[in-house]
Structure 1
Amino acid sequence: MLTIASDAPDGVLVHSFNGGDALEIKDELRRHGVLPERQEGALMSKPQWRVTGCYEYDDGCGNVVYRTKRLEASGHGKRFVAERFEGGRWVNGLGDTPRVLYRLTELREVVASAKAASLDQPIVYFVEGERKADKLAAMGFVATAIAFGANGWRPEYGDALAGLSVIVLPDNDEPGRKFADVVKAAVEQVGGTPCILDLPGLPPKGDVMDWEGTADDLRALTTKALSGALMPLPTLDLATLANVQPQPKAFAVERLAPLAEVTLFTGPGSAGKSLFGQQLATCAAAGMPCLGLEVRPGAALYLTCEDDAEQLHWRQASICKALRVGMASLAGKLHLASLRGALDNELGTIDHDGTLKPAAAFQRLVQMLQVTGAQLAILDNVAHLFTGNENDRGEVTRFVNLLNRLAGETGAAILLLGHPNKSGDDYSGSTAWLNAVRSQATLAHDLETDVRTITVGKANYARKGEAIRFIWFEGAFVREEDLPDDDARYLRETVQASSDNLLFLSCLQERTRQRRAVSDKLSATYAPKVFAGMPESKGVGKDRMEKAMDRLFRTGAIERAEVWKGDDRKPVFGLRETAKAGAADRFPQTSEGR
């Protein structure tokens, strides 16, 4: 076969599949006018080829049927030519000569001896080239090869390998891998047990000729490779592991997020999951702890489908201020991505038969982790990324397995944020979410004190330990003990005031339910005095109730007005809540980042 190649002599390359000499074929083409005659200079520079190896192929009974020669010339790559023995002399090319494996007689003798002695079938090593087979034979192994590599493979080569264990030793390059795959498939077709063994320590394009291991080294590698190839499922190599010090599971975030795993992180809409996720990613990028938890330093990704870029920027400024970290110093390490409004956020699609197929967004996520090298990825949130039926255990499990595969392949810890279900459980939809992950935590919000609490609900790789408590302060989450004294004192007073406001309103709601009006004036129905004696006030006393009433008047959360009509149809006046009595008015501090 001829191939046009402008950089080749005469502009063509000759591919001979029967062992013919490429130069002689070109000379024949010149005689027929297909190629131009050589110029005088070309004749003078004709390479001087010399034989550097000659390899004889026998028919399995000791009779040589053909041979290959290895030719080398200075400044040129190696060449191989084949000759058949015909009419008492060597003739160029193989013609119709039946093809056989290299060192076939030796292979058959060893197989026959093993069978006669009722021994296990011998292991045969298959390599790409006769010289390599000769090296293995000199080391005491049964080895074989074929002429002209994988391109010359024929079905009859496999007949001699039927039922044998065949170890293929590929060259350390792409052609070598393709050759190994061809041999492996052929051995499987004849009922043999093939195993591709990559020799350790080979240089690029290296082969067994470059390998420095001993015969014992190769036997050990072969035993290990075959034990895996013969098992229906891959198993641990306990002999090797016995000499390796075991390591505990590594964590991206202490107690919360193990590396190479998916962690389900849930909480109600008011808890602040998004703020926590972004702050956690910031701490990883900055190489600092987060709320007392050790965080693995390194690149981190926070991906949200709910907040736009402006909100991410606003929140990041508050986080950086609280952590005393320059925003510019995080460039290249903290990766914030907003997919709000995108129509293709789903990571996988469910076919009619229930099969989950990775979607384009999943491929982009894979590439993002590969490009950034992020070891912590926070995905906010599951409602946007999973479009299947959250009550279908099969669909949920397949989706989590898809993320577990991503975590395992990249080594990253993936935090999947989600809401509790309507029953108040720590997961959305079915229990499959909890069953499919190895780690799960919940973020709760105490509306009376504005304290947030993280509770580890499932921890297959760490102890559950105490709950992690912190508060919202000036746009970020902080531990009270990390605040300066003045700020801590102010915050405690603020938290107490917020709690007292809620207690006052709770008492007012109960009195309103009972249709028993209270007043802001000193009287028998003076609200602070009446509320101090109610169980709903939790014993805070009249003085704190008075201060709470004053704050609520100032914010417009309560008013003096008609509360209902009496039995005599006359209006009854007293204190009542206004439409402004929402959570934002009850708290002096705003819980941004919910």
Structure 2
Amino acid sequence: MSSTDVLQDIVLPRLEGARSHHGYYMARCPAHDDGRASLSVSAGKEHPVVFTCHAGCESHVILDALGLDWDALCAPRDEQRHRGEWTPYGEATAVYPYADEHGQVLYEVLRTLDKQFPVRVPDRTKRSGYRWSLKDTRRVLYRLPQVLAAAADGRTVYVVEGEKDAERLVAAGCEATCNPGGAGKWRTEYAQHLAGAHVVIVADNDAPNEKGRRSGWEHARTVGQSLSGVAASVRAVQAAAGKDATDHLAAGYPVEAFVDLDPATGEPHADEGQERPEPSHTVPQDDETDENPLVTARASEIRAALLDSEGMDALPPPEPLVEGMLYLDSLAWLHGKPGHGKSFVALDWAAHVAHGLSWQGRATTRGEVLYLVAEGTAGVAERKRAWESLMGHRMGVTFLPMAVQLLSRTDATAFAQVAAEMRPVMVVIDTQARVTVGADENSSQDMGQLVAAADELRQSTGACVLLVHHEARSGETLRGSTAMEGAATSVVRASKDGALIRLDNPKQKDAPPFDPILLTLSEMGDSAVILSHGGSGTAAQATESERTILRAMWDSFGTTGASSTNLREVSGVPKSSFFRAVNALLKRGELVNAGTDKRHHYVLSDPPGEGGVPRRPKPSHGTAVHRPTVPHSFRSGTGGTETYQNGREFEPADPLVPCRGSGCNHRIHPERYPDHLCESHGGRYVPTPHKEAS
């Protein structure tokens, strides 16, 4: 018996609320009154099972409470260990190979702790060596070579619903089999393999459904009908305790104690006077309690998920995909306005991850990348070629040029299955709008369905699922319902000004947000590539539009300031970029609104430093801060002085004159620039004292 079988088939069924936690299991300790899941159970190297009770219970006490001993658990093991096998539905606890008549493995069924049964087929064309779909693979009975040998000898063969039951019967000295897929999946061609055998069909003792049908008996009757006239004999039985063969044997009953079922009705008719051994422990039945069994089962799952302080400490930290930015097994959104470089950034991330290359000095986790191109396929192809031309090698990303609709259950499940076969570390969906056609982005219900589909994709792959999305026309947040941002581990915003792309990090759920990152979009062939921006400090954070506005403020308005209209006209910055740039400058304190909320009047906070960005010297203590004067030609109203809230007046300024520098078009204040040269041509700035209001 393998260590995984000891854990799965002997120990875990006796524990209350066992649940997987990244390579080990947490359950309620049977040795003390455990209100929480404080018992850690895992497979060991020297022993098949390692118990660690955070309340201090000793292993031998726990074993006594379970009715077990080390001799039983440490029996010789000759089967392969399967603990840790990856599946699209979590770690496998058992692997069941299905082989043909000659022992050649055709496919394998893997069992997970939450009773999912994914199937994999050996496939040399896949990196993992498997594909996760049967397609046209031949279906056969479990343990077919052994079943054929037993049938040829005219021996008894037990037919059960699942591989686990079959293995328990084999361990008890019987020959047993089942069909792949469980109840309702029996095929008539399976009957030929049981020709000449004495067949005992063990029906699961299922409760009747709303139509009064019992799926276990329905399956047993189908199997029995197909074996009529083929097998030497056929009879149907059910467990004397519990639901199935595993429960029957675990309760202490021998195989001879199965309860015979009426072949017409499926009802048990045990022989009068028949004695059966008392079970060592019983399994509660659904009719022994007034509670809803579904609620009870769910409550057990919730109870098992409870963690104390030590359990929380044992949880692993988030695994980075791109250091400090994106994380494995998470949902992330990259948003921005149209044309602001979102797809360039997403593709650059994907390419670096595919090769394990550091991205802007940040380490990446190398692995498969699946990039769903839902729009602009030709453009993405050009960007791919540009990147390859720059780097000198293939990008290594797998592309899917198809708008898979994630709100379609069929599309979402199929896409998750295909992605799971690849086992990627990153899945990019570009763009969200094209995979949610017809959805109401402002509807929490529609976006909740999208989040559920994306989360299914995350669960089936363990990857970082990155959705590229647009943002609101007049805002800087994700467009649509807040359900998306609420579900995100990471949210990154891309904004573009000229050739400069800025990445901001509005949200990191499990880590501190990263500082703004500046990138340059550089032409390459028929497209462009992302390059690092070499600047640093405050000057590096200024975009092209921001620099233009700052230079216009200094050269044309000095410290007198300007209204929004005048500043936009003089700077020549397009309206679409102007207000975004001004807001950024206001946030950084490089511009100050000296006017009101309704009538803006912008002034520089300090004289400019390198790159056209103001320096920020410490203010002199005791120096009065005055409001600057405004050029008369830029003032509103009929003339005269304008009084602001602090009572200070704006006086007419000196007329502006052209800079005498060669080829310079700047206009400057002659009293502030006595050399009649702007700073760009080495002019010297002389501040003008302000007049205090009386």
Please give the TM-score of this superposition, normalised by the length of structure 1: 0.47
Which is richer in helix? 1
Please give the TM-score of this superposition, normalised by the length of structure 2: 0.41
Q: Which has the higher contact order (CA 8 A, sep 6+)?
A: 1
